[in-house]
Amino acid sequence: MSLKLVRDPEEGREIWERLIPREFFPDLWEVRWAFHRHFRRPMLFIVEEDGGSPTGLLPLSWIEEQGHYAFFPGETWHGRTWLEQNVIPARSPDRLLAAVPGPYHIRYLSPRSDVIPGDRTVDEIGYLFQPPVYGYDIAGYFDSFSGKSAKRIRREIEAIEAKGLSWRLDHLEDFHTMVSMSVARFGIHSYFSDPRFRNAFWDMVNIFAERGWLRVSTVLVQGEVAAVDLGVLYRGVYTLIAGGTSAAHPGIAKLINLHHMRRACEEGVREVDFLCGDFNWKKMFHLTPRPLYLLESVAAQVA
* pLDDT tens column, 151-182: 888 888 888 888 889 999 999 999 999 999 99
* DSSP strands (E only) in the chain: 2-6, 43-50, 53-63, 68-71, 76-77, 80-81, 105-109, 122-129, 165-169, 214-221, 224-234, 237-245, 271-276, 288-296
Question: Average pLDDT, stretch 12-27?
Answer: 98
Check whether 300 has a pLDDT greater than 80.
no
Kindly indicate the confidence band of residue 198, based on its pLDDT and cuts at 50, 70 and 90.
very high
| Cα separation values, 298 from 82, 86, 138, Å | 18, 18, 44
Domain ranges of the chain: 2-124+292-296, 131-269
**What pLDDT score does 162 carry?**
86
**What one-character-per-residue DSSP string does 23-81 give?**
SSGGG-HHHHHHHHHHH-PPEEEEEEEETTEEEEEEEEEEETTTTEEEETT--EETTEE
**What pLDDT score does 163 carry?**
86
Q: Of the given ranges (193-197, 242-246, 265-269, 281-285), which has the lowest mean pLDDT?
A: 281-285
Q: In this predicted model, what pLDDT tens digit does every residue of 65-93 receive, in sequence order? A: 999 999 999 999 888 999 999 999 999 88
Average pLDDT, the chain: 93
Question: Average pLDDT, stretch 238-258?
Answer: 92
Check whether 276 has a pLDDT greater than 80.
yes
Question: Average pLDDT, stretch 242-266?
Answer: 92
**What pLDDT score does 238 carry?**
98
Check whether 189 has a pLDDT greater than 70.
yes
Report domain 2-124+292-296's class.
alpha beta
- Contact call for residues 129 and 272 (beta carbons, < 8 A): yes
Per-residue buried b or exposed e for 33-50, using 16+ beta carbons within 10 Å of the residue's own CB: bbbbebbebebbbbbbee
Question: Average pLDDT, stretch 248-276?
Answer: 94
Check whether 117 has a pLDDT greater than 80.
no
**What pLDDT score does 262 carry?**
95
115-279-223-163 Cα dihedral, nearest 10 degrees = 150
> H-helix or E-strand containing 18?
helix 9-19
Distance CA 287, CA 292 (A): 15
Check whether 136 has a pLDDT greater than 60.
yes
Per-residue buried b or exposed e for 164-183, using 16+ beta carbons within 10 Å of the residue's own CB: ebeeeeeeeebbebbbebbb
Q: What does pTM read for this prediction?
A: 0.93
Q: Return the CATH fold of 131-269.
A: Aminopeptidase (3.40.630)
Q: Of the given ranges (38-47, 114-123, 194-203), which has the lowest mean pLDDT?
A: 114-123
Q: Tell me whether domains 2-124+292-296 and 131-269 share a fold.
A: yes
**What pLDDT score does 171 carry?**
97
Check whether 105 has a pLDDT greater than 70.
yes
**What pLDDT score does 302 carry?**
64
**What pLDDT score does 303 carry?**
57
Check whether 119 has a pLDDT greater than 80.
no
Check whether 301 has a pLDDT greater than 90.
no
